[in-house]
Amino acid sequence: MHSFLFELGIEELPDNVIVPAISSIDDSFKKLLQEYELVCNSIVLGSTPRRLSITVNGLPAKQNDAEVYKIGPSINIAYDDKGELSKAGLGFLHKSGAKPEDVFVEKTKKGAFVAVRFMQAGKDVKEILREWIPEAINQIPLPKKMVWNQKDLAFSRPIRWILALWDKEVLNLEYMGINANRVSYGNRYLGLDRTLKIESVQSYEEILELNKVLVNRERRRELILDQFAELFKDSDDQVKQDERLLDTVCNLIEYPHAVIGEFSQDFLQLPEKIITSTISQNQKYFSVYRDNGNLSNKFVFVSNGDPQHSNIIKAGNEKVVAARLEDAMWFFNEDCKRSLASFVPQLKNVVFQSRLGTLKDKTERILKINKYLCNELNLSETEQIKAQRTAFLCKADLVTLMLGEKEFTKLQGYMGMQYALANNEDEQVAQGIYEHYMPRGSNDVLPKTLCGALCAIADKLDTVCGIFGVGLMPTGSADPFALRRAAGGVVQILAERAWDLNPDSMIDFVFKTLSDKVEIEPESALKVKQYFKQRVSWLLKEKGFAYDIVASVIDMGLSSLPHTLAKAEALEELRRDERFVKLVIGFKRVSNILEGELSFEEVDSSLFENEVETQLHNALKELDAHIDDALKKVDYPAALNYLVDFGSIIDKFFDSVLVNCPESQIRKNRHALLAKIRAEFNRVTNLSLIVVENELNGA
């Protein structure tokens, strides 16, 4: 068995490109194995900012020989008038890789065709790999490509070398003027001209490690964590765990060396997130906390440089952090000289969207939507005052120095909260300003305060309806205004708070506030309602409800999200009941009979021919009263149980009565009775969309 090594050497790749790039190489190689019916013992991936590598052990020298059997064109097409192979016949032969002596006539029910059968010798795996490497490079997904010294070579960064070995042998290949060889390079600080001769696949990782390159990403990660623990083994301080930052740092270095840095204690007067944002987001350093949970004036950075020069590197990093924090301190102190409310008029200078106006326009709409929500929820005057104050101030921090200078843009909302607290605004108002951006992603928390929840819904509804209204709906993967996240946030908050608000009515109101100044695209409100229905469907599936239950409860519209959830829970609980299964089957029978009919006459009891018809009609009146009572109490388990009990009467009706009887008048009357039953059931949910076991088994 044999080993294979491929290393692509490049200038430092951006950290967000490395994982998709090495995953692409991995996927491409596995497809290659499948295509050529090859097997191997192991695949080891490697990646650093300057290299992407794959090491494969246990490969055969060549493919197994295989019998090839293919049917080609009919003999009328495959041969000419002289009995020689025509162009079509020769083309089939060439495409199949066969020889003339491999050809024979295959007779089938559809006629006579030329066919070939021959033993195809297995291809050398070295040759397969030699052809694969250029393809693998071309397939690497890169968000931005640049043309370097070869006009046909477009890549994120210049490609510097290609290392390709088959055991100890260099694979003979050339890619865009770069010839493969057995040379790699160590860490930059050891010298860019210092070549490393890789004699064999097995020696690759060891030679790189001796030259301060840990090509295995997981080993770099483990080493970083070990170094963190070692740095503070005699201290109560500890590095803050940040998995995302750790992943980023792993992609930025080749051989980690963790170092402690410090900044002035004076900067600890700043709000905590300003400091941690400077350290982690801007500089990619790790914050350090004391044992009492307070932020310390230390930080840890992971150096890729020469450990012997750590003090010089440390001084440089401390200088950069100090400069950034000095800027932040100045921004913060200057902003605090003004009230947060004084920034609101400046929002007219910032465009939200060209047709939707400025952030000042958006704030005015948020205030109106917020007021509407307060009235719909019957909130107290005190609650409404706080909610409106939150809506008024929620975007003000976007024009402060701290955010306006683009240094700390990710702190929007947080800075608004800090400035509100500095201005002695109500704590719930301040917290609401921070929370109105929540949830910022699928794993983010929801607003805890009433002010935050109301303002979040108002802001997100305005964004979704506004962007839809001007015709900029999300498509496929393109969602520049994060409308999926915004709409998902609204339904999550409504569900979590169990607010009995009608989404359709909310959307209609928002479009009313928009239409005062904006020319709205036709059918926009309908599209937004459908979009929110999709997000409700997503939420229900996230909560674990089966797809058919989700379809059933949202099919009749979304009058209230808490009611929709309650219906889904009641259906999930009842679906295991045997009587419920029979009810679903009976209801589907009703729906199937009425399929295609759009209008029905009033039920005429004088046309009843069977006592069962009278019993069904009377029971339906009782059911209507019971369903009324259950829906008023939002008691969906009770409503469904009433339907289950009614199911036996439907079964008795079908057993005793021929619905589609010859007499037109009586048939129409029975259809009208079934239509009333269907309408009564649909007040609760659409049972025709529920899948029962009998259907799954093909019964």
Q: Is 607's pLDDT higher than 80?
A: yes
Please tell us whether the domain made up of 340-543 is placed in CATH 3.20.20.
no
Contacts 24+ apart (CB under 8 A), 438-442: 438/489, 439/485, 439/488, 439/489, 439/492, 440/485, 441/485, 442/485, 442/488
> Quick check: helix, strand or coil at residue 197?
strand
- How high is the pLDDT of residue 86? 85
Confirm if 245 and 284 have CB atoms less than 8 A apart: yes
Q: Give the span between the Cα atoms of 657 and 649, in whole angstroms.
A: 12
Closest listed residue to residue 415, CA positions, set 305, 318, 338, 476: 338
Interval 66-80: pLDDT, tens: 778 888 888 888 888
CATH 1.10.730.10 in the chain is located at: 564-696
Query: How would residue 36 be classed by pLDDT, with cut points 50, 70 and 90?
Result: confident
- How high is the pLDDT of residue 152? 66
- DSSP class per residue in 130-149: HHHHHHHHHH---SS-EE-S
Q: At what angle do helices 578-594 and 636-656 cross, to 10 degrees?
A: 60
CATH 1.10.3210 in the chain is located at: 340-543
H, E, C per residue of 290-323: CCCCCEEEEEEEEECCCHHHHHHHHHHHHHHHHH
Q: Is 155's pLDDT higher than 80?
A: no
Mean pLDDT of 498-510: 94
- How high is the pLDDT of residue 627? 92
Fold of 564-696: Isoleucyl-tRNA Synthetase; Domain 1 (1.10.730)
Q: Is 697's pLDDT higher than 50?
A: no
Interval 643-693: pLDDT, tens: 998 888 888 988 888 989 888 899 999 899 999 999 989 888 888 888 876
Judge residue 510's burial from the number of C-beta atoms within 10 Å of its C-beta, 0-12 exposed, 13-18 middle, 19 or more buried. buried
User: What would the two tokens of residue 219 be?
Assistant: 């080993």
- How high is the pLDDT of residue 422? 94
H, E, C per residue of 209-270: HHCCCCCCHHHHHHHHHHHHHHHCCCCCCEECCCHHHHHHHHCCCCCCEEEEEECCHHHHHC
Instruction: Domain 2-62+124-210: give its CATH code.
Output: 3.30.70
CB atoms within 10 A of CB 188: 17
- How high is the pLDDT of residue 378? 96
Give ∠ CA 195-8-2 in degrees, rounded to 5.
90
- How high is the pLDDT of residue 557? 78
Q: Is 699's pLDDT higher than 50?
A: no
> Lowest-confidence range among 48-57, 228-237, 360-369, 373-382?
228-237
H, E, C per residue of 378-435: CCCHHHHHHHHHHHHHCCHHHHCHHHHCCCCHHHCCHHHHHHHHHCCCCHHHHHHHHH
Average pLDDT over all residues of the chain: 90
Amino acid at 608: F
In Å, what is the CA distance from 675 to each residue of 367, 530, 666?
45, 26, 14
373 Cβ contact partners less than 8 Å away, ≥ 6 residues apart: 387, 454, 457, 458, 501, 506
CB atoms within 10 A of CB 625: 10
Mean pLDDT of 616-635: 91
